[in-house]
A and B are shown apart, each in its own frame.
Chain A
Amino acid sequence: MTHIEQLIDGVLKGDRRSIAKTITLIEDDMPESEKAISLLYPHTGKAFIVGMTGPPGSGKSTLIQKLVEELRRRGKTVGVVAVDPSSPFTGGAFLGDRVRMQELSIDEGVFIRSMATRGSLGALAKATKDAVKVLDASGKDVVVVETVGAGQSEVEIIKLAHTVVVVLAPGLGDDIQAIKAGIMEIGDIFVVNKADRENVNKAMIDIETMLNMNPEREKWRPPVVKTTAITGEGIAELLDKIDQHREYLEAGAIDTRRRQRVETELVEAIKEKVAESIVDELKQTGDLDKLVQRILAKETDPYSAADMLLDKRLKRFKRR
């Protein structure tokens, strides 16, 4: 057995060290990571994936701690992937989600991994997706993905989830915020956390009103759940709603979603590999550098240069 086969064998047996090492390979985008995914792939697709997103400070991590405890009470094993931002200046990151999940650290039925956003959005979405595959293949019943939700990037990442839970809290914004596009459109379930605070009903009404105005794209009308993560209030209800959404998906919508997801993944992989092979070749021949010089000298521009290159290289495809 090669090193990588051994590693994946460990993952499939649920060995925690192997799971951790494999996720690192994927995060670091090492050459072996593709081999790892291809070995894991046949064993994926069993876990139910829940995405949790929402603005900073809405209580996502604390809520996840309670949700995982409730899942454990119901006999489920759980994986958690918690994403926090990397510094755009130094590349470093402070990953603090575990602080709110301390009690879960030593539960054998739970595996938590913190991930930094690192480079580009596309790369992050891919690394998160693949980390979820590792936890899925390792036999976890449920995988929870946590991202800070502030805009488009989270929408990209959270697409991998079966059920998306958007976590909000009173006082984070008025009804104007609730009308904004982005995360408010992707929730399958909405949570108003910190329900012990003032204005919780106002927040509930704002979200309900927004949801009532949504065009009916699906039969599922996202419910709004009130929780107080610190005391555990509303957590069982939230999990019941997640189960209901799962039943709804399994009655039909899940196949369409799965097909869409696989298609997107394939298209992304093609784009990446094509771009990679062309850019690698350009670097080796020195053509990339020459073109950069020409663009700097204003003899051409990036778009024309790319067109020229692709015309030459893609001729063989076009001929068919």
Chain B
Amino acid sequence: MAQVENRLEIDAPAARELLESDENAVLVDVRGADEWRGGHIPGAVLVPLTELTERIGEVAPDTGQRVVLYCAVGARSLRGAQALSELGYERPVSVTGGIVDWLARGFPSSLERTLEPDQRERYSRHLLIPEVGEAGQLKLLGSNMLLIGAGGLGSPAALYLAAAGVGRLGIVDDDVVDESNLQRQVLHSTSRLGELKARSAKRTIQELNPDVEVVTIEERLTSDNVDDILVRGWDVIVDGADNFPTRYLINDASVWHGIPVVHGSIFRFEGQVTVFKPHEGPCYRCLFPQPPPPELAPSCAEGGVLGVLPGVIGSLQANEALKLALGMGNSLAGRLMLFDALSASFTEVAIRRDPDCPVCGDHPTITEYVDYVEFCAA
């Protein structure tokens, strides 16, 4: 698997060199039309991943032609390169790091975007950090993040991601604001009791930062809707679910869609946070092959949680998500961080990709959605 992926990937400098030296090479942007309009690589043609295998013949009639694919960060384009390889194309390649890395290297883009004057003011404390600067802020404004849950963890995560200027935030939640939520779910307020959390979240975020486009998905995440939700161009998923079936569903779907997950979980005084990067690091099933038996799997609704704890863990999730979008620092991929509020201590343990993992391993045995409630009750 690793060898195949290496053959199908090249980095941005190598891609640029190849495109300059091979005049028959075709550059294909496999993102969506909205992303394309936000800036693309000059000379590229837009063929969204969902249409790639049908339409590739129009742009690259010769299967011996060099086809260079890119997306935002390189996950979708790698899937595209694999699909073209299976279709008989001899040398399809995906640009690792996608257009995000391309732009970070100062390579040419169709739109030389700059910040508006009021954005310079709003994001001035980011612009003052040399490692972020205008280029970093533009990356954040062009990033797409999906939050699963607008509750304890989703509240601080959404607030900080919105304040930081993440361009598009998706919020999946079908629950309504309840009085018992307000002890910790700081996106909502007493006046919003009974309102859908996704809508309440949208109102709060729009008040905070009108730059952010909020996409509300007022549904519970299930095997039936997860694919439709995940294909909408997300760079990062922030998992703030409160039950094991949803967590395993998010894991399997994210591995198959190639989207990194920033994972957080909390109980009473303790929290866990990590990052799952599909195929680069471990997934949730590598870390926890089995959920605990139901009697040992209480939710916060059953076991309680200190109100500030999701504030700590959800903020750490926002930190990881922002680092992924900016492409800087060391992510928590491969490390599980444990926080204990009572001793005020962090502990870190190493987690590794399991080559025998049923979903992300070398010979996967789970290749389609299962009955997650049954799996977690077993």
Same complex for A and B? Answer no
A residues apposed to B, CB below 8 Å = none
